A = this chain, B = another copy of it.
Amino acid sequence: MAQLMASTNPAFMNGVPELLVLRLLRSREMYGYEIVQAIREETGEVVNLAEGVIYPLLHALERGGALTSRRTAVNGRSRIYYALSPRGVSRLDELTGLWSRLTQALHQVIKGEGYVPGV
């Protein structure tokens, strides 16, 4: 579709990796490689984010103060566990709210029922 529909930037994925990572870390501490697989499994293969997406994102979130990290050796291998900070929690709430409002708004348009003002 011309410039649209690229190989990179597939439709609707903007912000989704961040939301998923934050949401997964809300339940428990996890490490990068584990997060990659958890996203694939918990979305039923619908979302499949490579390590090249997740690792830079984890670093950016940590730099931004949303995550803290802890390095440990498990079975002779090094793992870096990430945990949500209070700031990460509020960012998650923010993104969840945005996502919720957007999906509701789009649902209304897609379903073809006009906007119902008021409430």
Question: Given known contacts A2-B60, A90-B118, is B106 in contact with A16 (CB within 8 Å)?
Answer: yes
Q: Is the CB of B27 within 8 A of A112?
A: yes
* A104 to B99 CA separation, bound complex (whole angstroms): 12
Question: Given known contacts A44-B115, A61-B2, is B105 in contact with A103 (CB within 8 Å)?
Answer: no
Residue numbers of A with Cβ under 8 A of B are: 1-4, 9-16, 18-20, 23-24, 26-27, 39, 41-44, 46-47, 60-61, 63-66, 89-91, 93, 95-99, 101-106, 108-110, 112-115, 117-118
Q: Could you give 20 example pairs across A and B, Cβ below 8 Å? A: A1-B64, A2-B63, A3-B60, A4-B64, A9-B14, A11-B18, A12-B16, A12-B99, A16-B106, A19-B106, A23-B110, A27-B112, A27-B115, A42-B108, A42-B115, A46-B101, A89-B118, A96-B117, A99-B106, A99-B110
Task: With A4-B60, A42-B114 given, name 10 new contacts (CB 8 A).
Answer: A1-B65, A2-B63, A4-B18, A12-B15, A23-B109, A24-B109, A27-B113, A46-B105, A93-B118, A103-B103
